Amino acid sequence: MAGKRQPTVTREQIIAGAALVFDRVGYGNAALSAITDEAGVTKGALYFHFSSKEELALAVIETQHALAMTVARDAAERNGSPLAALQEITREFARLLLTSVIMRAGIKLTLESSIISVRVVEPYEEWQTTCQTFAEKAVAAGELRSDLDTEAFARFIVSSFTGAQLVSGVLSERADLLQRVDQLWDFLLRQQT
């Protein structure tokens, strides 16, 4: 039984170590030796799970995306209001950018994906679809204007949040990220009345 669990633990350990390195130096500057050192595994263990740095980067993105989608599901379960759930999702994403190396590394890798041979669009497409679903429910609940273009609204939320976290990262190392997210919603909701 322990032999069955070990590969999973090692894989997760490698992903965690890779996230630390990718968050610190980005994809282009990340060395596999730094990742194995950070993860506390051998190169053989790394290559048992991942055939390349690119495959490892994609695993970090996948792990980050799964975390983000869990946040969305949890917010939907906790909130009776679809609009409140959507606001909570963006706030929780911001909080995770401040506290979770997996979240930071996954976002960083997604933004750097032009240097990876695989186009990484699924996380943004799924986030937009999720936002659109919440917006449609908010319209149906009377929380947003009935004439709202929910697809455009979803694109705006994703783009605005992405921009807010990038600018916050550059100007304050994300120290003002939660404030920027709150301001985004304050401004946006004033336009809905």
Identify the CATH number of the domain in which residue 166 sits.
1.10.357.10
What is the Cα–Cα distance from 122 to 140, expressed in whole angstroms? 27
Q: Tell me what pLDDT residue 3 has.
A: 46
Note whether residue 11 is domain-resident. no
Question: What residue ranges of the chain have pLDDT lower than 50?
Answer: 1-5, 193
From the number of C-beta atoms within 10 Å of its C-beta (0-12, 13-18, 19+), residue 1 rates as exposed
User: 89, 71 in Cβ contact below 8 A?
Assistant: yes
- Residue 48 counted as domain residue: no
Give the model's pLDDT for residue 87. Answer: 94
Query: Is there a domain that residue 2 lies in?
Result: no
pLDDT on residue 76: 85
- Ramachandran area for residue 174 (φ above 0: left; ψ -120 to 50: alpha; else beta): left
Q: Is residue 135 part of a domain?
A: yes
Question: What does the pLDDT look like over 44-72, one tens digit per residue?
Answer: 999 999 999 999 999 999 999 999 999 98
Q: Provide the number of structural domains found in the chain.
A: 1
Which residue, 149, 150, 147, 165, is CA-closest to 82?
A: 150
| Domain that includes residue 168, residue range | 53-191
